[in-house]
A and B are shown apart, each in its own frame.
Chain A
Amino acid sequence: NAGVTQTPKFRVLKTGQSMTLLCAQDMNHEYMYWYRQDPGMGLRLIHYSVGEGTTAKGEVPDGYNVSRLKKQNFLLGLESAAPSQTSVYFCASSPYRQEYPEAFFGQGTRLTVV
């Protein structure tokens, strides 16, 4: 199993450009998440989805949009990139259970906005 796969792994954007990060999981998980990882800040939740066609805001949603048109894919969009969005982005997924909702992570996308 591939697990959780993120595309691309690296990207450099100019301020004002737009891009979409793709997250794909093959574990049939209901929940999917986008986090950003910054030094000293840990992992902060951007947006999440509890199922196909549903999305919700996390802790730091401003400047990002998401879509979950298919259960296996969760897209993160930056409409107008800013240097403050330079970060490592992690996608994760987890199954719906009452217990043991472990999160499975992708390998990360390193984004630099210049």
Chain B
Amino acid sequence: AQRVTQPEKLLSVFKGAPVELKCNYSYSGSPELFWYVQYSRQRLQLLLRHISRESIKGFTADLNKGETSFHLKKPFAQEEDSAMYYCALSSASGGSYIPTFGRGTSLIVHP
């Protein structure tokens, strides 16, 4: 069974500080991993995915298969980064791709 663990419910930092949101997963095959973000009163939207190796809004995430982790990082947090962040894993189940989400981490960036 696949599982996504986000150990921190809440992460509180000051503007300009580095941010790291942790995500660990368990899956026996080759997963596809994503970070989704939900800003206040908005729908969830894709932030980035590991296969693209891209940086979005200053955020990056590296897949570490040895540690089964996909932590989200940003060197200098901004107030507009305050949101709920979900790590997600998508895997083939009988030929179907079903996303599994972690419990989410609420990031608060103080001025």
A residues neighboring B (CB under 8 Å): 4, 31, 33, 35, 40-45, 48, 50, 58, 90, 92, 94, 96-97, 99-103, 105-108
Contacts and interface: CB of A to CB of B under 8 A. Distances in A.
Interface in B10-28: none
A50 to B, nearest CB: 5
Of all A-B residue pairs in the complex, the 8 with the closest CB atoms, nearest first, are: A42-B103, A43-B101, A101-B97, A105-B44, A42-B104, A105-B43, A50-B96, A107-B43
Contact of A105 (B45, B102, B103): B45
Contacts, number: 63
Given A99-B51, A100-B51, A102-B34, A40 B99 contact: no
Q: Is the interface of B mostly helix, strand, loop or mixed?
A: strand
Interface residues of B, number: 26
B51 to A, nearest CB: 6
Nearest to B100: A45
